[in-house]
């Protein structure tokens, strides 16, 4: 992923910390980090104000684009075990847990 001044390398089993820092930087530079900074707002209803509907639309777009961008930086073999129907914050938490398990398993194989 390349976002003007930010480049994100592919996630491997050994570079989660650096990859996560690059993801955070790239999204903040592109002002696409709303879904990373804020929890999902309540889904709009017919009773919702225009402001609430607009806020949800902005968050949903940020979440969708963030997920697309992040998935593009993860190798297929790592991506296969990750869920596809969660928000970007939960997705990153799942990636982190997967990487912690992979690192633990790698260390204990010797």
- Say if CB 1 and CB 8 are below 8 A apart: yes
> What pLDDT, on a 0 to 100 scale, did the predictor assign at position 56?
97
pLDDT value of position 44 = 96
Q: What angle do CA 36, 84, 79 make, to 5 degrees?
A: 95
pLDDT value of position 15: 87
What residues does 74 pair with on adjacent strands? 11
Between the alpha carbon of residue 71 and those of residues 22, 26, 39, 54, 91, the distances in Å are: 14, 14, 20, 26, 10
- Residue 23, pLDDT > 80, answer yes
pLDDT the model gives residue 98:
82
**pLDDT tens-digit map of 26-74:** 888 776 788 988 999 999 999 999 999 999 999 999 999 999 989 998 8
Half-sphere exposure of 1 (CA within 13 A, CB side): 26
Taking only the tens place, the pLDDT of each residue in 62-108 is 999 999 989 998 888 888 888 888 999 999 999 888 876 666 565 56
3 state DSSP class of 108 = coil
């Amino acid at each position: 992923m390349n976002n003007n001044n930010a480049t994100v390398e592919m996630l491997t089993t050994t570079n989660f910390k650096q990859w996560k820092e690059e993801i955070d930087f790239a999204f903040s530079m592109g002002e696409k980090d709303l879904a990373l900074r804020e929890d999902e707002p309540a889904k709009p209803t017919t009773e919702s104000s225009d402001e609430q509907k607009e806020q949800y639309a902005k968050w949903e777009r940020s979440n969708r684009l963030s997920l697309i961008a992040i998935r593009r930086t993860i190798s297929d073999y790592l991506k296969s075990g990750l869920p596809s129907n969660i928000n970007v914050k939960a997705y990153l938490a799942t990636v982190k847990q997967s990487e912690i398990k992979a690192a633990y398993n790698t260390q204990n194989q010797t």
